[in-house]
Structure 1
Amino acid sequence: MKYFLIILTSLAVLWGCSPVGTQMRAWKGAPLDELIIRAGAPSSVSADMGGYRLYHWYEDRGAVYTYGGMVNLSCDRTIGVDDDDVIISVDWRGNCIAPADSPWERTNDMQNTENTGVSQ
């Protein structure tokens, strides 16, 4: 039981500090249109029990070989928006990757446009 708690705690810390988490959290407060321009159209749209719309992006990169054997890389990103199409929640499942040139990377020029109200 002790080892299980150590592993669980380690995973929680890693999840909170992951590059994917950093990329995803940067979208909170951004307009949905900005994300769609950057990442493309969602795979599907649904609603939660509170009536907010949830946009899903599913990505399957297939199997890759690692030191531990074959691993299927897949990721399901979920973005929640309010009635004004502003991103209010982010979540992801799977083994998402976060390269610096990812379409999920919110660039500084996008954030500066939001803060200044100037369109580029």
Structure 2
Amino acid sequence: MKSARFAFVVALFLAGCSPVRQQLNAWQGASLEELIDRVGPPSTVSTDASGNKFYHWYEDRGGVYTYGGPVNLNCERIVGVDSRETIDSITWSGNCIAVPDSPWQRSVGDGK
């Protein structure tokens, strides 16, 4: 039981330190226009009951083979914006990868 708890704590820690999470957090406070200029238009746009807009980017890189067997790489990134279209929330699901030359990479000082 202790090993299960330890594995759970390690998984939570790693999820919080995820390179993808770090990559996406860099967009917090940026303009939606800057993001679209960098990564391209979203796959879809949705609105919740309160009228908040969410922009969805879907990525499917298909199957790759790893030491553990075949893995299908796919990801959904969801970006929420405020009334000025400034990014105020970012979530993701799937098995995104954060490569350094990704258009999702944003450095301090980027922007308009």
TM-score bracket for the superposition, by shorter chain length: over 0.9
**What does residue 19 of structure 2 align with?**
19
Superposition pairs of residues 76-95 of structure 1, within 5 angstroms: 76-95=76-95
TM-score of the aligned structures, taking structure 1 as reference length = 0.87
Matched residues in 2 for 1:8 and 1:55: separation?
Answer: 31
**Identity within the alignment, %:** 54
Matched residues in 2 for 1:87 and 1:45: separation?
Answer: 14
Which structure features the higher share of helix residues? 1
Matched residues in 2 for 1:52 and 1:6: separation?
Answer: 38
Q: Which runs of 5+ in 2 are unaligned?
A: none
Aligned-residue RMSD, C-alpha: 1.3
Local SS of the residue matching 1:45:
strand
Task: Write out per-residue CA displacement over residues 12-54 of structure 1, whole angstroms, 9 at most, x where no aligned residue.
Answer: 1111111101110000000000000001000000013332101
What is the number of equivalent residue pairs in this alignment?
112
Superposition pairs of residues 14-53 of structure 1, within 5 angstroms: 14-53=14-53
Q: Which runs of 5+ in 1 are unaligned?
A: 114-120
Local SS of the residue matching 1:108:
coil
Matched residues in 2 for 1:108 and 1:76: separation?
Answer: 24
Matched residues in 1 for 2:40 and 2:98: separation?
Answer: 16
Give the C-alpha shift of residue 2 in structure 1.
3.4
Matched residues in 2 for 1:47 and 1:108: separation?
Answer: 30
Give the C-alpha shift of residue 11 in structure 1.
1.4
**What does residue 70 of structure 1 align with?**
70
User: Residues 56 and 7 from structure 1, CA distance in 2 versus in 1: closer, same or farther, beyond 3 angstroms?
Assistant: same
Query: Could you tell me which amino acid in structure 1 is paired with residue 4 of structure 2?
Result: F
TM-score of the aligned structures, taking structure 2 as reference length = 0.92
